[in-house]
A and B are shown apart, each in its own frame.
Chain A
Amino acid sequence: MKILVGLKRVVDYTVRVQVKPDGSGVATDGVKHSINPFDEIALEEALRLREQGKATEVIVVSIGAQTSMQQLDSGLAMGANRAIHVKTDRAIQPLTAARVFLKLIEQEKPDLVILGKQAIDDDANQTAQMIAALWDRPQATFASKVEVLGASLRVTREVDAGLETLDVDLPAVLSVDLRLNTPRFIKLPDIMKAKAKPRAIIDFDSLGVDSGDHLTYVSYAPPVKRQKGVMVADVPALVAALKQKGLL
């Protein structure tokens, strides 16, 4: 089994992002960037499938500027076999990303494509579903458990009603949720070993993908903050305050 894994470069989850004073965007210059945490879980799952002998090759893919190579380097150090960097300086939207993946799928013919359920920058939660639609293959989103059953996968999904289990025939697309696994740490020798791994760079424009960037991001604003309320001294005062608000 050959697995394609998407790794998006995003502002690190520990950074408290700030909206620029003129509302033109979010300040991302000079702040720490990392692999989208959900994508890291996607890669970990692919590596585990390879270590179990279910997969033979794991390819990491990133779409973005030159700097995205840092995240691919990390993916290779984690254990991916090779990397594909689709290079563009434009911020692309999920439909365009899905169309890029479809091109790579046509070239690489993977059995499985795994992505994080959402990227923690645009929080769109769309790309995996869109890839599955364009590829006309099954999707199992928000995966928290994956088992290989011959030519299909049994996937447990975290849905609002609880845990749903689906069987999907391969090839398929997965989007993964937090509880699927805990990604491994990268050790120094792995970074050295990864230096020799193949990295392909493809210019975005050379793929001939129709742009699906249909949305215009007009402006950005900080969220409206809730006001701090009152402090009560003890439980009877809490009960009185709730009664006063008509909540008890």
Chain B
Amino acid sequence: MSKVLIIAEHANGKLNASTAKCVTCAAKFSPAAIEILILGSALDAAAAQAAALQGVTRVLSLSNPANATAIAANYAPQVVAAANGYSHIFGPSTTFGKDLMPRVAALLGVSQISDIMSVTDSHTFQRPIYAGNAIATVKAPTAQPVVATVRTASFAAVGNGASVAGIEAITVDVALPNHTRFVGLEAGGGERPDLQSAAVVISGGRALASEENFKLIYDLADKMKAGAGASRAAVDAGYAPNDMQVGQTGKIIAPGLYIAVGISGAIQHLTGIKDAGTIVAINKDSEAPIFEVADIGLVADLFVAVPELMAALG
């Protein structure tokens, strides 16, 4: 029977929603156990959130001052030491998981399945290749653990269950290298909701035409309590910082409502939003490819339509 270990992502006492999405993915093949391994230094709050998730049977908490920041070279050998006996080791396909999980897989001497988007059975999964232009069905061998990352936009976060799993503090006997040192983190985004977890995201494209004009996107986002994103074209032109980039080379997101303002809809952008609940497009060009995927399209000058929309929202 399958036994899944999910590596939790968390920051500042808060469990990242990507962890609950990994649980949803794992539950698809009905494993005998879904356990969560959480590494860090002050873990009580995030471990409790992990223990509350529906379907989670146990939480392993690996606290160590050296784990205060997620350094893959430090985390990977600890994950390997804690992962003995599991048939599956999953992490989210966020920059945290993408950095860590291949290092875990290589230490275990196994291949990794990147970006699971759907599940056929415990060893057969679908994943996007060629920027989402093709979907491959991939089979992992049953004789070795399955190390994988889960494409978070493809799975809804599981809610809290009726019972709370036990939390066990564990230790591992691993000598940590000192060759990689955390210097700092310059947070992007400010007060707005994180793009990956926001229910509503407003993104601007090249048609905004300047960094100053991007204020329109921020104002609309603030009005709607939404996350603010940008197309690669807008980022490349310097209108918005890179951490706002939505698309295959940026963030892949699945908000309930996505409003694309002045975005033409290049394939690499569409790949990043195709799991959104409702897509709204506002664009001057009625031929823009974004309208082929939009649920609601409005052909209009964004500099007129966005202020009008803000006024209508009150």
Which residues does A use to contact B, with CB under 8 Å?
11, 16-19, 26, 93-95, 98, 120-127, 129-134, 136-142, 144, 154, 157-169, 172, 178-179, 212-223, 225-226, 228-239, 241-242, 245, 247-248
Q: Are B181 and A122 in contact (CB under 8 A)?
A: no
Q: Is the interface of A mostly helix, strand, loop or mixed?
A: mixed
With A168-B179, A223-B128, A223-B135 given, is the CB distance from A133 to B141 under 8 Å? no
| Interface-lining segment among B49-57, B209-217, B296-304 | B296-304
Q: B289-301 CB contact bits vs A (8 Å, 1 = yes)?
A: 0011111111110
Are B128 and A215 within 8 A (Cβ)?
no
Cβ of B179 to closest chain A Cβ, rounded Å? 4
Q: Are A215 and B111 touching (Cβ within 8 A)?
A: yes
Chain B residue nearest to A27 (CB atoms) is B134
Q: Does B176 have its Cβ within 8 Å of any Cβ on chain A?
A: no
Known: A141-B99, A218-B124, A223-B133. 15 other contacts (CB 8 A): A17-B133, A94-B111, A126-B114, A129-B103, A130-B103, A131-B106, A133-B106, A138-B73, A161-B187, A163-B186, A168-B180, A215-B140, A221-B137, A229-B279, A236-B312
Nearest CB on B from A42, distance (A): 15
The answer to whether A139 touches B292, judged by C-beta atoms less than 8 angstroms apart, is: no
Determine if B84 is an interface residue (Cβ-Cβ < 8 Å). no
Residues of B within 8 A of A219 (CB): 136-137
**Interface set, chain B 156-182, CB cutoff 8 A to A:** 177, 179-182
21 contacts between A and B (CB under 8 A): A130-B103, A132-B72, A132-B103, A139-B72, A141-B99, A160-B196, A160-B251, A163-B185, A164-B184, A166-B182, A166-B183, A178-B249, A212-B109, A214-B140, A215-B138, A221-B137, A222-B134, A231-B296, A232-B297, A235-B308, A247-B256
Candidate in A120, A167, A241, A242 with the most chain B CB atoms within 10 angstroms? A242
**In the complex, what residues of A have CB within 8 A of residue B243's CB?**
158, 160-163
Are A239 and B312 in contact, with the CB atoms below 8 A? yes
Contact A142 B95 (CB under 8 A): yes
- Complex CA gap A139/B100 in Å reads 10
Which of B99, B257, B282, B309: most chain A Cβ within 10 A? B99
Contacting pair B279 A226 (CB below 8 A): yes
Instruction: List the B residue with the shortest CB-CB distance to A175.
Output: B99
Cβ-defined contact, B279 with A138, below 8 A: no
Q: In this assembly, does B23 line the interface, its C-beta being within 8 Å of a C-beta of chain A? A: no
Q: Give the chain A neighbours of B300 by CB distance below 8 A.
A: 234-235
User: Is A123 a contact partner of B130 (Cβ separation < 8 A)?
Assistant: yes
Q: Across the interface, do A26 and B278 meet the contact criterion of CB distance under 8 Å?
A: no
CA distance A213 to B110 in the complex (A): 9
- When chains A and B are docked, how far (Å) is the Cα of A212 from the Cα of B11? 34
A134 and B134 within 8 A (CB): no
Chain B residues with CB under 8 Å of A165's CB are 182-186
B residues in contact (CB < 8 Å) with A: 11, 71-73, 76, 94-96, 98-107, 109-115, 124, 128-141, 144, 177, 179-189, 194, 196, 200, 242-243, 248-249, 251, 256-257, 267, 274, 278-280, 282, 291-300, 305, 308-309, 312-313
- Contact between chains at A160 and B249 (CB < 8 Å): no
**Are the C-beta atoms of A123 and B242 separated by less than 8 Å?**
no
A-B contact count (CB 8 A): 246
Q: Are B111 and A212 in contact (CB under 8 A)?
A: yes
Given A94-B112, A139-B103, A160-B95, the answer on whether A129 and B72 have CB atoms closer than 8 Å is yes
Return the chain B residue nearest A244 by Cβ: B296
A121-B129, A139-B103 in contact; A16/B267 too (CB < 8 A)?
Answer: yes
Known: A19-B134, A133-B102. A223 touches B274 (CB 8 A): yes
Q: A124 to nearest B CB, angstroms?
A: 5
Inter-chain contacts of A216 with B (CB < 8 A): 138-139
From A98, A163, A212, contact of B188 by CB (8 A): A163
Contact pick for B111, options A11, A93, A221, CB 8 Å: A93
B102 touches A126 (CB 8 A): yes
Distance of A18 from chain B, by nearest CB (Å): 8
* Distance A93 CA – B280 CA, assembled complex (angstroms): 39
**CB-based contact B130/A226 at 8 Å:** no
CB pair A158 B112 closer than 8 Å: no
Return chain A residues, CB-CB under 8 Å to B73.
132, 137-139
The answer to whether A17 and B130 touch across the interface, beta carbons within 8 angstroms, is: yes
Residues on B with C-beta less than 8 A from A238 are 280, 282, 296, 298, 305, 309
B199 to chain A, nearest CB (A): 9
A105 and B52 CA atoms in complex are apart in Å by 46
Q: Which residues of B contact A178 (CB under 8 A)?
A: 242, 249
A29 CB to closest chain B CB, in angstroms? 15
- Whether B144 and A214, one on each chain, are in contact in the complex, defined by CB atoms closer than 8 angstroms, is yes
Tell me if A167 and B130 are in contact (CB < 8 A). Answer: no
Q: Is the CB of A231 within 8 A of B297?
A: yes
Which residue of B94, B99, B135, B200 is within 8 Å of A129 (Cβ)? B99
Partner of B137, one of A137, A160, A217: A217
CB distance from A31 to the nearest CB of B (A): 11
